[in-house]
Structure 1
Amino acid sequence: MAAVRASTIKDDAQPTRTVCLALKIADTERHHAMARAGGDGNQDYIPARSFTVLGYEWQIDYDPDGHHPNHVERYVKLRVPSRVLRPMAEVAAVCPRFRQGDSKEVPLVSRAVLEASGHLGRDGNCFVQCKMELSCGERAGLPPRDLGQDLGDLLRSQNGADVTFVVGAASFRAHRLLLTARSPVFAAELAGSLTDETHRIKDMDADTFRALLLFIYTDTLPPQLEHMDRWLGTWKEDQEAVSMARRLLDAADRYGVERLKVICEKKACVSVGVGTVAADLVLAERRGYRKLKARCIEFLVASPADLHAVAAAGGFKLLEASCPSVLTQIVTAVAARNCQLLGLGRR
């Protein structure tokens, strides 16, 4: 019998929930002996007790010596009875039979690989974690939520737009009702203004304003920021993302879009480097971005080589001219770090 522990993780930003199942696998030696004696372990699943998650009845059966459809060797397999599932891409790639409408079996790993891995305990037990994502809409037989997509289409189509913003040489049509609901600054600026009035935005580029509108309408980031911390693109694309994170942080702060502000400050923190740290400190000190300021000082204190590189590039001159008090904080932090290292060296 496989013992099951189920837990639910809810992400309010996504229309899905993740269910994590930890199965304690027992009785594997019985099945292994059965296979050696010529029995077919594939026909003898070990049933797990049923359990309820997200209003659904679930059961996962376990076979420690099943057949893989494309291999001769024995495989550890799972079976999910009476459920129609769409497998994750990595599962579908290695298990052709596990398709929508046919969720009978999921080969996990060959017995030989499992026994050589060291994950099988002396008592023949091991643990398997199953991760399933359920669409919240599917629970009620409804299609997925698409409010963000619909509002994005509304922004792109400009249907019913009643206010125009001019940013440099570009113009943007938008909907004052949605802007005032999402931004207290827009609410104040647009209060009492005439329909179809034009507003000129200063000290902001068109790409940044476009990204700001996208987030206000859809709660999503532009592509270059969406996976900025992974950085799989070219160096040029990385630099564009670094710049956009800081410009969009400034725009979010300016218009009071707090969620976007928090997200962009985190993006700025993960991209602090020799080329940005001085300007980041000036920005953080002037705007009160405490997390970004702390990250910049941490970056400078952590590496003497980076500290010298910033000084050689004129970063400290910028700080001296713009916010000299920050220089004092950096010197204090570096001194404290050196004292800590010297103290450890004496022990």
Structure 2
Amino acid sequence: MDTWSLVFRHKKVKAIPKRIVESRKGSYLLKVAGYSLYKGIGAGSCISSPVFTIGGYNWIIDYYPDGHMTGAEHVVVFIIMPISNVKDLAVKFDFTVLAHDGKASSNNEHPTKIVTNIHDHPKYYLKKETLEASKFLKGDSFRIRFTIEIIKEGPLEKTVHYTREVTASNLSLVSLLETGEGADVSFIVGEDIIHAHKYILAARSPVFKAQFFGPMEGKKNGSIEVKDMEASIFDAMLHFIYSDSDSESLPEFDEVEGNRPATVALAQHLLVAADMYGLERLKRVCEKKLYEFLVVDNLATTLALAVQHYCSDLKDACMNFVKAPDVLGAVVLTEEFEHMITIYPTFFKELRQLKPSS
């Protein structure tokens, strides 16, 4: 599941005679989604983030839901430099728990750490009782921002530094989709006709690329009919293609915010469309949204969808959820369960192989 994000910025501070102090600083946002699902995995068991880079060095976050050694009253988080010959490196670490509105908690409990031996892995503790009673745990998830600052001295190279900020990219092709300007292909989706641009679609989707520029290209004339898909879903998929947004959300999800059934239905349909056209990032966005809204009533359909469209992370999340006490009995009583067993006949066999949830 894509629960990790990285923000990096680089700056140089004022020079001292014949030497320069260089500060490289970056932040890593860890979002723990499904907090309750990981409780009970046992002390010493951890979940690791992907490797990320700040200041030219690789890092990993290890999250221990039930503590590092013994006792399960604390959540423990380590910051680790996985493989490095670096020994003497001054690094400053900051740790902040964030509320869902982006506001930070008090840092009094988690003071700044400065280390010179990078292999003395900084670790932070969160008391479960305090976390679970706080505003920071919401929707079974919480967020931690880690700030890593590396300070190095080196030869004086420049006394004047370039300070102009490079603005974020404002690339967006959505206006071309909305106006139809320069469109060279049309799709018939139900009763709607949607105009688009072959090269933009082909650049983002291997399926569109094969459709427009593969061996069958010369046999395609006129409009292309899209079957078994609603026009609103196809249009939402095209907006994702044209916007190339880095956001984990989509405007369509914002429109149905707070409406669980509508959000789940939209994510399910978009996941099918993303799989059909080879849009892996959109597929991951939909998987994450389905995981966040996973409950007993929609578990059977979500698990069936994950199996049918080869979403291994979502499938694993569903299986971990269903093995919790009393969940399986409730799922069996839902109307969707019989359909799920038809699509996923080895469900009970795989369930028996799982370690029972505590």
Q: Give TM class, smaller chain.
A: 0.5 to 0.7
Find the aligned partners of 2:183 and 2:302 in 1 and give their Cα distance: 36
Q: Does 1:152 align with 2:174?
A: yes
Q: Given that residues 303 and 318 in structure 2 are in contact (C-alpha distance below 8 angstroms), is that contact kept between their aligned partners in structure 1?
A: yes
Q: Does 1:203 align with 2:231?
A: no
Aligned CA distance change for structure 1 residues 205 and 141 (closer, same or farther; 3 Å): same
Q: Any idea what the Cα deviations from partners look like across 1:177-224, whole Å, max 9, x if unmatched? A: 111111110011122258982001111111211111111111235224
Find the aligned partners of 2:147 and 2:318 in 1 and give their Cα distance: 40
| TM-score scaled by length of structure 1 | 0.53
Q: Does 1:266 align with 2:288?
A: yes
Q: Any idea what the Cα deviations from partners look like across 1:127-153, whole Å, max 9, x if unmatched? A: xx999xxxxxx96566542112xx111
Q: Any idea what the Cα deviations from partners look like across 1:74-118, whole Å, max 9, x if unmatched? A: xxxxxxxxxxxxxxxxxxxxxxxxxxxxxxxxxxxxxxx99xx78
Q: Does 1:313 align with 2:334?
A: yes
Structure with the larger strand share:
2
Q: Any idea what the Cα deviations from partners look like across 1:247-266, whole Å, max 9, x if unmatched? A: 11111111111222222222
Q: Does 1:283 align with 2:305?
A: yes
Q: Aligned partner of 1:324: which letter?
A: P
Find the aligned partners of 1:159 and 1:196 in 2 and give their Cα distance: 20
Q: Aligned partner of 1:248: which letter?
A: L
Question: 1:223 is matched with which residue?
Answer: 251
Find the aligned partners of 1:118 and 1:326 in 2 and give their Cα distance: 45
Question: 2:351 is matched with which residue?
Answer: 330
Q: Given that residues 164 and 173 in structure 1 are in contact (C-alpha distance below 8 angstroms), is that contact kept between their aligned partners in structure 2?
A: yes
Structure with more relative contact order (C-alpha pairs < 8 Å, separation 6 or more): 2
Q: Which residue of 241, 244, 269 maps to 1:247?
A: 269
Offset at residue 290 of structure 1 (A): 0.9
Find the aligned partners of 1:257 and 1:167 in 2 and give their Cα distance: 19
Find the aligned partners of 1:169 and 1:227 in 2 and give their Cα distance: 23
* Consecutive unaligned residues in structure 2, runs of 5 or more: 12-19, 26-105, 113-145, 149-161
* Consecutive unaligned residues in structure 1, runs of 5 or more: 1-8, 12-16, 21-49, 56-112, 122-128, 132-137, 342-347
Find the aligned partners of 2:163 and 2:211 in 1 and give their Cα distance: 42
Find the aligned partners of 1:143 and 1:314 in 2 and give their Cα distance: 52
Alignment coverage as a number of residue pairs: 217
Q: Given that residues 163 and 196 in structure 1 are in contact (C-alpha distance below 8 angstroms), is that contact kept between their aligned partners in structure 2?
A: no
Find the aligned partners of 1:203 and 1:215 in 2 and give their Cα distance: 20
Q: Given that residues 184 and 198 in structure 2 are in contact (C-alpha distance below 8 angstroms), is that contact kept between their aligned partners in structure 1?
A: yes
| TM-score scaled by length of structure 2 | 0.52
Q: Given that residues 316 and 327 in structure 1 are in contact (C-alpha distance below 8 angstroms), is that contact kept between their aligned partners in structure 2?
A: no
Q: Any idea what the Cα deviations from partners look like across 1:12-41, whole Å, max 9, x if unmatched? A: xxxxx4579xxxxxxxxxxxxxxxxxxxxx
Find the aligned partners of 2:311 and 2:356 in 1 and give their Cα distance: 23
Find the aligned partners of 1:263 and 1:311 in 2 and give their Cα distance: 28
Q: Given that residues 183 and 256 in structure 1 are in contact (C-alpha distance below 8 angstroms), is that contact kept between their aligned partners in structure 2?
A: yes
Q: Aligned partner of 2:233: which letter?
A: T
Aligned CA distance change for structure 1 residues 194 and 142 (closer, same or farther; 3 Å): farther
Q: Aligned partner of 2:201: which letter?
A: L
Q: Given that residues 319 and 327 in structure 1 are in contact (C-alpha distance below 8 angstroms), is that contact kept between their aligned partners in structure 2?
A: no
Q: Given that residues 265 and 292 in structure 1 are in contact (C-alpha distance below 8 angstroms), is that contact kept between their aligned partners in structure 2?
A: yes
Q: Given that residues 163 and 195 in structure 1 are in contact (C-alpha distance below 8 angstroms), is that contact kept between their aligned partners in structure 2?
A: no
Q: Does 1:171 align with 2:190?
A: no
Q: Given that residues 301 and 337 in structure 2 are in contact (C-alpha distance below 8 angstroms), is that contact kept between their aligned partners in structure 1?
A: no
Q: Given that residues 299 and 318 in structure 2 are in contact (C-alpha distance below 8 angstroms), is that contact kept between their aligned partners in structure 1?
A: yes
Find the aligned partners of 2:300 and 2:203 in 1 and give their Cα distance: 36
Find the aligned partners of 1:322 and 1:120 in 2 and give their Cα distance: 52
